[in-house]
A and B are shown apart, each in its own frame.
Chain A
């Protein structure tokens, strides 16, 4: 097998969890990178992608729960799952801090995910060899 350069990746997820194969491709690609020994600096959930981070998602029985799959991958690989805070608030995804700030009375950010600013994405474009986007709508 030819020697392969190990690279530093940033994954951007822009599709919602309902966009089945696109959402799954992001997860499986990230999984494959980690299996091959690449570094995944962070996964950045943007636009509809932030909906992946709701712990209240309850797919019908027998259907894939992409949120749980990301959580599993996060625990196993100490992945950083960053959820764009502006898009998250817009879409009703909040953590305890934001819930208290806006007095929302509830929060739903799934464990393993964290709210982050776009600066994290900017930083990743500087640090990473590759930035790969999934679920770009046009």
Chain B
């Protein structure tokens, strides 16, 4: 497997979320099927119905494009759910399937990719 992009930033605190998604989309157009791992504060990017009170574009709109780009390898760090106080039912509307990973599986995921980029 090629590139794993680790999403650790809040959606609008800085440009990390958007910049990482731009890389994911471009890798997908190069048929590199990137994997995305959401960890820590990065999980907040997955809340499609979160109210965006900032003037910045809702990150959820990019997520909705994942199926069009064939971005299908979505992983969520299970330990981060508790830490971020996010219940699974808030992820029901995600447009893509995701896998919950425990700590060992996160390690394994990282070992299975040639490149890792952390945002």
* Residues in chain A within 8 A of chain B (CB atoms): 12, 46-47, 86-87, 117-119, 121-123, 125-126, 128-131, 133, 136-138
Contact = CB atoms under 8 A, between A and B. Distances in A.
A87 B16 CA distance: 12
Interface residues of B, number: 20
A133 B117 contact: yes
A128 to B, nearest CB: 8
Nearest to A136: B118
Contacts, number: 49
A86 B23 CA distance: 12
Interface of B: 2-3, 8-9, 14-16, 19, 22-23, 26-27, 29-30, 32, 114-115, 117-119
9 contacts: A47-B15, A118-B22, A122-B26, A122-B32, A123-B30, A125-B27, A131-B117, A136-B119, A138-B8
Contacts of A46: 19
Contacts of B30: 119, 122-123, 126
B23 A121 contact: yes
A30 B79 CA distance: 36
A94 to B, nearest CB: 19
A86 B26 contact: no
Contacts of A118: 22-23, 26
Contacts of A128: 115
B16 A86 contact: no
Nearest to A10: B115
Contacts of A12: 117
